[in-house]
Chain A
Amino acid sequence: MIKRVIALTLLAGLGLLFLGLLLDYRPDTDLNLSARYYAERTAPDLGAANIVTAIVVTYRGLDTLGEVTVLFLSATIVGLVLALGRRRGQAPAGLAPVGELLTTGSRMLTPLILLLGAYVFVNGHLTPGGGFQGGAILASGILLLLLADPLRHFSHGLISAVESLAGVFYVAIGLAGLVWAGGFLDNRILPLGDLGALFSAGAIPVIYSLIGLKVGAEFASMLASLAETEEL
């Protein structure tokens, strides 16, 4: 009881802070300096139609490389933590049969989900979406397969090969930007093309596709590690 009172007091203080922020908040009517720069310069400099993508992949590309690394680390640690002391070969008791609908549905839907994921990350520079979203959609296809067959085994070797190769090419493209264009992860190593075309915006679609594969592989490895705990 006393714990609840302390928690409520703390939260009341935090809520007062939030209330102050909320009451003082005045929405901007014009873009601030950095947003204005991105809005004006993205199309002529980078040729990307989606400004958020231009920021994520090129202007702040180094941060995205770091973000992908954080994701890689957390996927690795999940795998490591769950693999410790794993016992093999015990059939789990009382796993309910999944049923005809889920099995057939997953067979039909998984290819379509993977296709949608690839579409989302390939078009990341044109439409809402991109590598992270596309990668998450790819992993949701894997999740559907796991729901239909919780004991299915995924090849960790294949997943980590996709993940590492995508990472290596990502950094290689970044270094190519250092040599042939303005700096690390500069997208102008490839022609910028016409604004709004699929093959435009230089290296952005290539980088975002690699990110999509990498994120998809990382999420898939997390899902596979978590699913393998079913065996215990």
Chain B
Amino acid sequence: MVDISLIAMATGFVLILIGLYGALTNGNLLRMIVAFTVADAGVNLVLVSVGYMRGRTAPILDSAVPAAEAVARIIDPVPQALVLTAIVIGLGVTALMLAYAYRLYEAKGTLDIAKFSELKW
């Protein structure tokens, strides 16, 4: 019986690899940005899966999880808080990449990274 957190973690790792492969092999800037967001989702999935514990519930106290039993009933809240931060920052990074891609397209009329050869050695 495979643990569900292992499945989630493996999926996250695979998503990271897919995203990096896409970013490394695609020449189109927009495709690279999409690939980075896929890798980003993978990282978040791995982080969340680290905090998961079998048979426990979300770190929210209510009638089902009274404060006195919280230690035995909830999963680790720290990775969730971290991923909340990571998702928001990921969105900011994606918006920045899109803005720069737009400016580059305006400057050269193309999104092909091979055409931007000024910094190439």
Interface residues in chain A, defined as those with a beta carbon under 8 Å from any beta carbon in chain B: 3-4, 7-8, 10-11, 14-15, 18-19, 21-22, 25, 27-29, 31-32, 34-36, 38-40, 42-44, 49-52, 55-56, 60, 63-64, 67, 70-71, 73-75, 77-78, 81-82, 84-85, 126-128, 130, 132, 136, 195-196, 215, 219, 222, 225-226, 229, 232
Tell me whether chain B's interface is mostly helix, strand or loop, or mixed: helix
Instruction: Tell me which of B24, B53, B67, B106 has the highest count of chain A C-beta atoms within 10 A of its own C-beta.
Output: B67
Provide the residues of chain A in CB contact with B21, threshold 8 Å. Answer: 7-8, 11
Say yes or no: A28-B53 contact (C-beta < 8 A), given A4-B25, A7-B24: yes
- The bracket for how many chain B residues form the interface is 35 or more
Binding site for A on B (CB under 8 A): 3, 5-6, 9-10, 13, 16-17, 20-21, 24-25, 52-54, 58-62, 67, 70-71, 74, 76-78, 80-81, 84-85, 87-89, 91-93, 95-96, 98-100, 102-103, 106
Q: Give the chain A neighbours of B17 by CB distance below 8 A.
A: 11, 14-15, 18
* From B9, B58, B84, contact of A22 by CB (8 A): B9
Q: How far is the CB of A213 from chain B (nearest CB, A)?
A: 15
Closest A residue to B92 using CB positions: A74
Quick check: A77 and B71 within 8 Å, CB to CB? no
Q: Specify which of B24, B61, B95, B102 is in contact with A10 (CB 8 Å cutoff).
A: B24
A contact patch SS: helix
Verify A51–B100 contact, CB threshold 8 A.
no
Q: Which residues of B contact A40 (CB under 8 A)?
A: 70-71
